[in-house]
Amino acid sequence: MQSFRQPPTDPAFVQNPYPAYEAMRAQGGIVLWDDYGMAAAASHEAVQAILRSRDFARLPPAGHEAPPPWDALPAFRRLEEASMLSNEAPRHPVLRRSVVTAFTNARVQAMAEKIEALCHRLIDGFPDGPFDLIAAYCTPIPVTVIAEMLGEPDSLAPKLLEWSHAMVRLYTQAPTDAERAAAERASEEFAAHLEASLAAKEARPDGDLAQALKAESGAGRLSADEVLGTCVLLLNAGHEATVHAIGNAAKLMLETDDPAALAAPEAVAATAEEALRLDPPLHLFARHAQRDTEVAGHTFRTGQQVACLLGAANRDPEVFDGPAAFRPGRNAKALTSFGAGVHFCLGAPLARLEMQIALRVLFARCPGLAMAELPVYAPTYHFRGLQRLMVTQGQR
């Protein structure tokens, strides 16, 4: 396994990580990423194999545990350890079934009209001069939607957004002490709010999402902390990634000759899917070998950690012809943007629905939308999203 150096905080890498991924693949698909001190899988074959294999898991096997970054943050740890993402079998399948029971496709599809109405309200408020599309449009949509699904008032959305931003900073490379303290405060406040909100709710499988999760708890399938952890997960995972997904897609479309055509009702699903492939909102999932095993000709010892690079796998020329080109309508069934295997993203249907409606309404209402300056990506690797996307709207 060859060594590879690429600081994830390097400004050039933040703005465009894809040349580094190509260099990794050129060294064999799996390299030792020195800056992380772990192996990194950059080929589509290796990433899919690791994510789908029962020989790898999100958590290290017994005897190989290391203190997590949040070990000294009790409020954050309480929510994190109760989350579905922080559990493996036998607890993970139980948690996942309970969330699937509450987070049904019918409940997701029932949000379509509300998402569309929200998009129109936001566009009605666009200023006449240049403005940041991320702040004015991409950010409010997911947080308002998840607030609605959890039975929270729209007025709480800014506070939910504040909590989410503070908490997800712990998942980026080397959070500062100030960021750790902010994440702990946000965890305390969010948990206290949810506990009060849930106490006032009736447990109803056919109610809002929080009521349905409370019903799962009443049936003995979820603990009280697992209900809290799931609500937090739905906000943080469902919001942060979807903001970036909408923003990245809008940026890609604005770089074409006819973004309005790409957002037409008959085309927008393919456009959103290709944007998810070409510039996904999450770039790195880490996995731990549960036993000695081999992938792509490399042996991983029990407890060894490997980074699965989703953004690299999505541009593997062995799977995608002309992988750096934006070609909506190509076969994107093999994209890895939502992960794979037992931890495949449960929120994928909601994210796709939000993306498709947001892009369709935006470019139907604002066909003259254009970028006002070069877009800037935020230094938040493993997330991949725009810090701002300054646009002018032209004639609405």
Give the model's pLDDT for residue 1.
Answer: 86
- Which region, left, alpha or beta, applies to residue 322 given φ > 0 means left and ψ of -120 to 50 means alpha? left
Reading the block at residue 39, the tokens are 């192996």
Secondary structure of residue 298 in the 3-state scheme: strand
pLDDT at 332: 67
| Residue pLDDT, tens place only, 164-173 | 889 988 877 6
pLDDT value at residue 165:
87
H or E stretch covering 371: strand 370-371
pLDDT by residue (tens digit) across 94-138?
888 888 888 788 888 999 999 999 999 999 999 999 999 999 999
Q: 339 with 67: CB under 8 angstroms?
A: no
pLDDT of residue 170: 85
- Tell me: the pLDDT tens digits for 139-180? 999 999 999 989 999 889 889 989 988 998 887 767 889 999
- pLDDT for residue 303: 95
Query: What are the chain's domains?
Result: 3-392 (1.10.630.10)
**62 CB contacts (<8 Å, ≥6 apart)?**
none
Q: What is the mean pLDDT of each run of 10 residues along the chain (396 residues)?
A: 94 97 93 95 96 93 79 89 83 86 85 96 95 97 92 90 89 83 95 94 90 92 91 83 96 96 97 97 95 93 96 95 94 85 88 97 96 94 94 78
User: How many Å apart are CA 41 and CA 30, to the nearest integer?
Assistant: 4
- Distant-in-sequence, close-in-space partners of 181: CB < 8 Å, separation ≥ 6: none
Q: How far is the C-alpha of 105 from the C-alpha of 309, rounded, in Å?
A: 28
Q: Average pLDDT, whole number, for the chain?
A: 92
237 Cβ neighbours under 8 A, 6+ residues apart:
85, 345, 347
pTM value > 0.75: yes
Helix axis angle for 209-218 and 224-254, nearest 10°, is 150
Q: Find, among 194, 216, 195, 193, the residue nearest to 205 by Cα.
A: 216
Tell me the C-alpha distance between 235 and 95, whole Å: 17
pLDDT of residue 395: 61
Amino acid at position 118, single letter: L
